[in-house]
Amino acid sequence: MTCVAVPRDHHRVRVRRTALATSLYTPQSPLPAFEQSLPPPDLSRWLTGNDGIPGVITQRSGHAGPTVVIVSLVHGNEYAGATALDRLLRSGLTPPVGTLSVIFANLAAFARFDPENPVASRFVDEDLNRVWSAERLHSNAQSCELDRARELAPLIERADILLDLHSMLWDSEPLLLAPNTESSLTFAAALADPDGPDLIVTDLGHRGGNRLIEHPRFTTHGGGCACLLEAGGHWQRRTADTAEAVTMKALEFAWGQRPARRVMLRRAIVTDNVVAQSANFAFTESYRGGAFIRHGGTIIAQDGPDDICTPYDDCLLIMPNHRPARGHMAVRLAKLI
């Protein structure tokens, strides 16, 4: 896997609609009822932690080897990853080499999870997946999430291999997000599988701040590699199964147990972040994440007075958000490479 530059656009993504063209906009309906087939896990036995940090279970093999960190619950309402890690810990998982730390990250937000309002407990004060720059971590700012990030930071700084388990609100195929470095892309390739996820995405980051996989430890000269799994729908049983299967692949990779095999995987690079500029952003169809738009210049959404168009042929829609608030990410546009 080699790093590549971002391809150039062919068409403009945002085009002001002419006075004659009619808007497809229809008022946004309330959030639909999302599938909730996976109950929240009972994490009580992990809350204290075993190494001085709440919600962190660290096991040392006593043999030389990598420091592996598997993270769940960076977003408090995305508990499928925590379910997977709870299962693996209960099964007696121990590292044969090196050190393994399992992190249940935003326990304060998870404690507020309410199945009647499942989208509300993503965080307490701010998004824990936007605070991982040296600047934020070393600032004087305080929040529930920054305090937690500072508590976890020493573990992150030692991680040779980090997997961050997430899930998605809107219907989408599972995918792997990897920083554009040789080591992280190699790691992501080891996790890809024809049974899913087989799509590795490198994106443009979040303008709101650094995600955990963008911590300085995982930049080109940081020494560690990282990958984020979007395992499926937030509260679905199969999402926990995917998170568990990918975690096992990550551990086999880390422990030298995963034989090299050539998998037909797909790699995409995000070229555009489409941020809603109006309160009435609306897609022209109920696109699923991973949808493939054949022709460049296709109108995929309307945002106030603007049409949103695909910038090139064979454009991939990454995690469309069908109810973006003004200023929030509505979709990422990506090119298969």
- Which tokens go with 247? 């975690």
Q: What 3-state class would DSSP assign to 175?
A: strand
Size of the site for Zn ion (CB under 5 A): 3
CB of 75 to Zn ion, least distance (A): 4
CB of 284 to Zn ion, least distance (A): 26
Q: Which is nearer to Zn ion, 106 or 183 (CB)?
A: 106
- Nearest-CB residue for Zn ion: 166
Site for Zn ion in 148-187 (CB under 5 A): 166
If the CB atoms of residues 71 and 300 are measured against Zn ion, the closer one turns out to be: 71
Stretch 45-104 residues interacting with Zn ion (CB under 5 A): 75, 78
Q: What are the residues whose beta carbons fall under 8 Å from the beta carbon of 141, sequence distance 6 or more?
A: none
Minimum CB separation from Zn ion for residue 127, in Å? 9
Residue 24 C-beta: closest distance to Zn ion, Å: 29
Instruction: With beta carbons less than 8 A apart as the criterion, state whether 38 and 236 touch.
Output: yes
Looking at beta carbons only, is 21 or 325 nearer to Zn ion? 325
Q: 78 vs 198, which CB is nearer to Zn ion?
A: 78
Give the residue with the Cβ less far from Zn ion, 130 or 335.
130
At its nearest, how many Å lie between Zn ion and the CB of residue 65?
Answer: 29
Closer to Zn ion by CB, 166 or 267: give it. 166
The DSSP code sequence of 45-114 is GGSS-SSSSTTEEEEE-SSS--EEEEEE-SSTT--HHHHHHHHHHHTT---SSSEEEEEE--HHHHTT--
DSSP structural state of residue 172: B
CB of 3 to Zn ion, least distance (A): 24
Q: Are 267 and 337 in contact (CB under 8 A)?
A: yes
With CA atoms as reference, report the closest residue to 334 among 173, 130, 170: 173
Burial of 209: CB neighbours in 10 Å, binned 0-12, 13-18, 19+: middle
Footprint on this chain of Zn ion (rule: CB under 5 A)? 75, 78, 166
